[in-house]
Structure 1
Amino acid sequence: MLARNPWNTSFVGRVAFADIGGRQTGWSGDRCAFLGRNGSLADPAALRGRAALSGRVGAGLDPCSALQGMVELPAGGSVEILILLGEAGSVEDVGALIARYRATDLDAVLATVEEHWADILGAVQVKTPDRAMDIMLNGWLLYQTLACRIWARSAFYQASGAYGFRDQLQDGMALTFARPEMTRSHLLRAAARQFVEGDVQHWWLPSSGQGVRTRISDDRVWLAYGVATYIEVAGDEAILDEVVPFLDGPPLAEGKHDDFFLPRTADESASLFEHCARGLDQCLTLTGADGLPLIGTGDWNDGMNRVGEGGQGQSVWLGWLLLKTIDLFAPLAQTRDPNRARIWRAHAVTVKAALEESGWDGEWYRRGTFDDGTPLGSAMSEECRIDSIAQSWAVLSGAADPARAATAMASVDAHLVRPEDGLALLFTPPFDKTPLDPGYIKGYPPGLRENGGQYSHAAMWAVMAFAALGEGAQAGALFALLNPINHARTPAETARYKVEPYVVAADVYSVEPLVGRGGWTWYTGSAGWMYRAGIESILGLRQRGRFLTINPCIPAGWPRFDVKLRQGGTQYDISFENPSGVCVGFARVELDGAEIPAGPNPLQLPLDGGTHAMRITLGAAVSMVNA
């Protein structure tokens, strides 16, 4: 059975198909004929008896693809039924594809697929006292990131297939260790969606190139952040010299938030370095009265699209991201464009001062300011008094006053983490009756999605921030609280959560009667960040060029954990023992049976193509002589 949609201009001519090897005795393209009038998938009429399906196909029906065939199964016997679903560019291509797989050894095909996934997901395998953590880190998180976020870019709750500029840049960071070539390819793909002026398509459709130009502010920074992070891991500084074209298109009209159109490829091309630099340059020009970056029509939180629509509202969170990006990217500019590096670093000094002067609220950092200067995310705010991401990135940027950063994260723990409900909120209280309009976020009911629910993407940053502070107990407990497996351990929990317990949900509701109800699953950047939070922040495993660095921050109650790691031709089998019940630090390190200096954190080991066994004892460092 073939299906096509000539009205979908992006896929004119594409043909979908369903095939059961020619065994059909009946068929229908009419959902009503299969389900029956007032029927349901729980009890479809077509499965109640031996009556053939209607045979109706064509346009104008409530469409489905139903193929019916009879199977005789002898006592004690078995039968194998091959069902093929797919699509191709033409009817002829469909016929060739079906003929190929009807005649193929499908056991061999399945084995190839399994080997492929084992190779990707097996790059790092862990065994910790937290079995639920192991299940997610050893397969599901990276699978969700690659299969759904990077390849399909589609799921039950979003089916556009579009690339998000900032979204897939972040997803790609989780793949840099296992599949650096995929990360590299996407960095160049994303750079090609940047306008000559330095701003970008916030999202675009790869089938047509159409996309949306916006005033969303953080898009300008993520390319440099993603490129610098990739180079730090892969050691591939040559990527900066890759030449990529710009886009050309009409600028946004005064007062307009966004514009969807098909841009043309500009006459101008430049190195990836120049693409990154133009984004940063434009961000520097968009600075508010307090010296903080302008929030535009949303920073990371697109729902806050009217906080700064007048061109005056500022973002504390974006200030932290900008500081971290300059810290990572300016050294790469030192030999290519030292004047730019000097300007960026000088700007970073003023932004850092502004964050501490205007951003600090007493117990935490503010989220930003509205156009009229009213603070957002302040103790004086009736709604959105404290926002998670401004606190987490104060730590992750490495730029905040250490005492204030620690206080800010303690405030996150006190005000936003609700262990009894298994929630870590984005902010609290939700927007509801505030006279200032933050944007479409207020259109969500209080406690749902970004409006004061758990937004898992942000919660993963909190895990990483606690680990960066050396707070292994909080990092481990928050990871466990966010782990979807732990939301469905009993029938009662499953009935409350209601969504898949093996993939991360973008959001979890925080208000009665829906407290603990999972929201948008599969298609969320939370999966990639959760993987990084577990592997990099808690277990402390990072690649730095041709070296592996180890610097765990674990719950003190863990007696041990084990890691098997494969990178290229290098393999490490590492056991960590924790007899002293500590979160951080090395007391003794053995490599291939020989003791080596524990040294200062982190440990650095060569990715030399060899096979190595390590035994690491956590605890306070002692000299090898005294040992």
Structure 2
Amino acid sequence: MRYGYFDNEKREYIILNPVTPMSWVNYLGTADYCGIISNNAAGYAFYKSAKTGRLLRFRFNSIPMDRPGRYVYLRDNTDGDYWSASWQPVGKPLSVYKNICRHGLGYTVFESEYKGIKSEFRVFVPVDRPIELWEVEVTNTGSEERDLSLFTYAEWCFWHMDQDLTNFQYILYTCRMGYLEEGIIDYSIRLWPNQRPQGFMASVLPVVSFDTDREAFIGLYRHEGNPEAVERGVCANSLAQGGNPCAALQNRFTLKPGETKYALFILGIGDAATYGVECRRRYARREQVAAEFQKLQDYWAERLAHFTCATPSAELDTMVNIWNQYQCHTTFNWSRSASFNEAGGRDGLGYRDTNQDTLGVVHAIPDLVRDKLVDLLKGQLSFGAAMHSVQPLTWTQGAHNVPEESRIFSDDHLWLLISVPAYLKETGDFDFLNLMVPYADEGTASVYDHLKQALEFSWSKRGPHGLLLGLAADWNDCLNLKGKGESIWSTFLYCLALDEFITLASYLGQEADAAHFRQYRQAIQESIDRYAWDGKWFLRGYLDSGKKLGGQESEQTKIFLNSQTWAVIARVAAEDRLKQAMDSVQELLATEHGIIKNYPAYREHILEVGAVTDFPPGLKENAAIFCHTNTWAVIAEALLGRGDRAFAYYRSFLPAAKNDRADVYTMEPYVYAQFITGKEHPQYFGRARNSWLTGTAAWSFVAVSQYILGIRPAYDGLVIDPVIPQDWPGFEVTRRFRGKKLTIKVRNPHRTGRGVAEMKLNGKIIPGKVIPLAQMQNENLVEVVLG
């Protein structure tokens, strides 16, 4: 079943049926202020921190779903009938009420029509201000004059998410609501230590009544769908001193036939009497609001312009040119802290997550990536390991940052060896390596030495087979590889990290460092050759008892996806063995909805294996289609030169390819989900969950742009090495690289799908697969023939 469609010209997804299987959401805001809004106007907002800067409240996992949110009610004052500008929360029958939701880049629009009244309700956050602008345009399409009221509703949160959810005996007695005659609600509370969070909601049109107390507006034993104040036709002018604060403002006006009325409500962070008044005055002119919206559109146009493509796949183009990159910027901003699945308790930057998130945006915002890398380097400990998460807003150096040994992960610190080289290849900013950055606990070192220390730590943490110890966990937190347990996946990541550093050191002329780590690489390779292969695929690891994990003699699950893909990515074996491993993936793990993470699913709990055995088959860690890991299969097959299989894998979990089966997929067709229910689940094979904030976003962009389309940065230029489906006639890409613009046209006349037979730069033949930076002009035409 289809619920909507893509409008690529406007960069929007249009939802025609509001009864979507799950909440389909959008993110508002570009920097410090973040708003999340669903296709039925539910959601919440926070300032800088989802945990300690929560402005608007949301009730997770609730019935009714999707409550509360940013609501605008319309009331016919003649007969008392009322509805909402979004379908919910009032929920008028769709036989008489029409609604369309348009999610765009940084904004959402609700268009509705009921009883001869059309409304358009647009919400967006300006690029550089901590406020939301709620624009409402109401038109009378009937033949009689109408007497109408608008009511707003938003529910304030008590700033600290954990306190708001649990500490009712204190938190419900702290708000001090006020109202300014200028039509501005003043929200303020007093929290420890000496915190005075402040917010406001203002109306540009005259206000005839207001409420700041939720109970006064909603009424007893009611809900957002039938608030007493709207039903009555007037608010109570309540001023909450304690209790549950809200922001409800009423405008009233008449509309002649064909007449339109424009209203604006401003909600945001700041002192109502100063910043609130300033905002109300600033945006009293509609032209100023329009200028802010244009600035937002220009912001996203610039960010997306660094990589665009035109391929034979419309679904690929839609994702790569618009939604995948948009999602990459969202994950870069907010890591995994705030969505409709994450309540905000995991605040700050997940260490492994954010390192990977940089890969999806470094081509567009390298300066911001540089700053983020510094934040991450501050989360590394002086002995080389890393904190599992770091909060830059509150970071201070000291022993308090040192986790217990049992909470040190085997992979966190190694992701620096992926993210930093990616930044250097994109920018050529080798001075960054000399930047002195403090460690989390004590001391300061250059970025270059931070990288070396990460490699040395992993070398010191090897197990009985010479492979990396799993420590607290590797990428899969639900696998128990503690004690003497060894992670073959982390070992493969270590191999890639070593290779990246060896290449970098050699490029810089640091041959002693390169030689030193080559010895590590050789020794690790010998252990891999002896202990990692299981006949037809690679093991996942060794348990503390010495038993094999993910082998043909293992209990229940016999094969894991990550070991096979990363064996290829890290090039730890000869090509025939790598192809055999990926052929086993095709045979045992691939499905129409994507590649499952392990097979067969665990059906009985195994204490030594860990929490992965606790999930029902086909969910989350246990034999689900983890979309993040699917991206690595795409890369692996591209590296093996098998473009048809790489693209088939890419498309199998591509959200845009699920648009016509959205009732099965259930999540948004415009952004990636964390996982899709696997084939061994008894009921929901193909159902997605946990969208938006996932490493799938960055790695999907990397997989398609750098490996299928094959355009990836190197230290001295740009690599062009496509591996595409054989039946593609070609494709075109525009790419900005170090201040240069390249138009890259690829032809596939012999239908090989791979192998650069000829490459020209501005009409001159270039040998090999790298376009040298030194030969680039400001504007460049690259012509590539595959063969």
TM-score tier, shorter chain, comes to 0.7 to 0.9
Aligned CA distance change for structure 1 residues 341 and 86 (closer, same or farther; 3 Å): same
- Residue aligning to 1:313: 485
Secondary structure of 2:319's aligned partner: helix
Aligned CA distance change for structure 1 residues 39 and 269 (closer, same or farther; 3 Å): same
Conservation of the 8 A alpha-carbon contact between 1:317 and 1:389: yes
- Residue aligning to 2:426: 233
- Residue aligning to 1:147: 330
Match of 2:367 among 166, 181, 184: 181
* Structure-2 separation of matches of 1:449 and 1:571: 42
- Residue aligning to 2:765: 596
Conservation of the 8 A alpha-carbon contact between 1:284 and 1:347: yes
Aligned CA distance change for structure 1 residues 297 and 432 (closer, same or farther; 3 Å): farther
1:135 Cα offset (Å)? 0.8
- Residue aligning to 2:12: none
Aligned CA distance change for structure 1 residues 578 and 343 (closer, same or farther; 3 Å): closer
Alignment-mate amino acid for residue 130 of structure 1: S
* Structure-1 separation of matches of 2:493 and 2:701: 20
- Residue aligning to 2:451: 276
- Residue aligning to 2:518: 345
Match of 2:390 among 191, 201, 204: 204
Match of 2:439 among 246, 249, 252: 246
1:543 Cα offset (Å)? 2.0
Conservation of the 8 A alpha-carbon contact between 1:389 and 1:458: yes
- Residue aligning to 1:448: 619
- Residue aligning to 1:507: 675
- Residue aligning to 1:535: 705
The reply on whether 1:68 has 2:225 as its aligned counterpart is: no
1:569 Cα offset (Å)? 4.1
Match of 1:215 among 398, 408, 413: 408
TM-score by length of 1: 0.87
Secondary structure of 2:264's aligned partner: coil
- Residue aligning to 1:53: 235
1:403 Cα offset (Å)? 1.3
Conservation of the 8 A alpha-carbon contact between 1:538 and 1:552: yes
Secondary structure of 2:465's aligned partner: coil
The reply on whether 1:325 has 2:504 as its aligned counterpart is: no
1:571 Cα offset (Å)? 2.0
* Structure-2 separation of matches of 1:345 and 1:360: 22
1:236-280 CA deviation, whole Å, 9 max, x = no partner?
A: 2211110011222xxxxxxxxxxxxxxxxx3x2111112222221
More displaced, 376-385 or 60-69? 60-69
Give the structure with the larger helix fraction: 1
* Structure-2 separation of matches of 1:553 and 1:127: 15
Aligned CA distance change for structure 1 residues 371 and 551 (closer, same or farther; 3 Å): same
Mapping for residues 400-439 of structure 1, pairs under 5 Å: 400-419=573-592, 422-439=593-610
The reply on whether 1:498 has 2:691 as its aligned counterpart is: no
Aligned CA distance change for structure 1 residues 204 and 211 (closer, same or farther; 3 Å): farther
* Structure-1 separation of matches of 2:425 and 2:621: 32
Match of 1:126 among 293, 309, 333: 309
- Residue aligning to 2:77: none
Match of 1:109 among 292, 297, 312: 292
Alignment-mate amino acid for residue 472 of structure 2: T
1:368 Cα offset (Å)? 0.4
Aligned CA distance change for structure 1 residues 481 and 46 (closer, same or farther; 3 Å): farther
The reply on whether 1:285 has 2:460 as its aligned counterpart is: yes
Secondary structure of 2:663's aligned partner: helix
Aligned CA distance change for structure 1 residues 81 and 90 (closer, same or farther; 3 Å): closer
Alignment-mate amino acid for residue 317 of structure 2: D
Secondary structure of 2:636's aligned partner: helix
Higher relative contact order, chain-length normalized (CA < 8 Å, sep 6+): 1
The reply on whether 1:396 has 2:569 as its aligned counterpart is: yes
1:471 Cα offset (Å)? 0.7
Conservation of the 8 A alpha-carbon contact between 2:324 and 2:701: yes
1:604 Cα offset (Å)? 5.0
1:144-173 CA deviation, whole Å, 9 max, x = no partner?
A: 121243247422222244111111111112
Conservation of the 8 A alpha-carbon contact between 1:453 and 1:508: yes
Conservation of the 8 A alpha-carbon contact between 2:528 and 2:572: no
- Residue aligning to 2:132: none
Aligned CA distance change for structure 1 residues 547 and 332 (closer, same or farther; 3 Å): closer
Alignment-mate amino acid for residue 186 of structure 1: K
- Residue aligning to 1:296: 471
Alignment-mate amino acid for residue 452 of structure 1: A
1:515-550 CA deviation, whole Å, 9 max, x = no partner?
A: 222111111111011011111010011122452221
Aligned CA distance change for structure 1 residues 561 and 53 (closer, same or farther; 3 Å): same
- Residue aligning to 1:257: none
- Residue aligning to 2:266: 84
* Structure-1 separation of matches of 2:276 and 2:503: 52
* Structure-2 separation of matches of 1:172 and 1:532: 11
Conservation of the 8 A alpha-carbon contact between 1:157 and 1:523: no
Conservation of the 8 A alpha-carbon contact between 1:149 and 1:524: no
* Structure-1 separation of matches of 2:718 and 2:502: 23
Unmatched tracts of structure 2, length 5 or more = 1-184
- Residue aligning to 1:14: 197
1:231 Cα offset (Å)? 1.7
* Structure-1 separation of matches of 2:458 and 2:759: 45
1:379-404 CA deviation, whole Å, 9 max, x = no partner?
A: 22233321111111101112322211
Alignment-mate amino acid for residue 435 of structure 2: E
- Residue aligning to 1:252: none
The reply on whether 1:576 has 2:750 as its aligned counterpart is: no
1:199-245 CA deviation, whole Å, 9 max, x = no partner?
A: 22111233333878322111121123321232233222211110011
Alignment-mate amino acid for residue 291 of structure 1: G
1:61 Cα offset (Å)? 3.8
Conservation of the 8 A alpha-carbon contact between 2:758 and 2:785: yes
Conservation of the 8 A alpha-carbon contact between 2:210 and 2:238: yes
Alignment-mate amino acid for residue 333 of structure 2: I
Aligned CA distance change for structure 1 residues 89 and 450 (closer, same or farther; 3 Å): farther
- Residue aligning to 1:361: 534
Conservation of the 8 A alpha-carbon contact between 1:205 and 1:211: no
1:340-393 CA deviation, whole Å, 9 max, x = no partner?
A: 543422121111111121111111101101100111111222333211111111
Match of 1:549 among 702, 714, 719: 719
Give the % identical residues: 29
1:585-617 CA deviation, whole Å, 9 max, x = no partner?
A: 23444444x3625x4445556573422234333
Secondary structure of 2:364's aligned partner: coil
Secondary structure of 2:683's aligned partner: coil
1:452 Cα offset (Å)? 1.6
1:36 Cα offset (Å)? 5.5
* Structure-2 separation of matches of 1:589 and 1:580: 15
Match of 1:167 among 329, 342, 353: 353
Conservation of the 8 A alpha-carbon contact between 2:410 and 2:473: yes
- Residue aligning to 2:641: 470
Conservation of the 8 A alpha-carbon contact between 2:282 and 2:288: no
The reply on whether 1:28 has 2:198 as its aligned counterpart is: no
Conservation of the 8 A alpha-carbon contact between 2:199 and 2:272: no
Secondary structure of 2:728's aligned partner: coil
Equivalenced residues, count? 589
- Residue aligning to 1:625: none
* Structure-1 separation of matches of 2:283 and 2:294: 15
RMSD of aligned residue pairs (Cα, Å): 2.6
Secondary structure of 1:371's aligned partner: coil
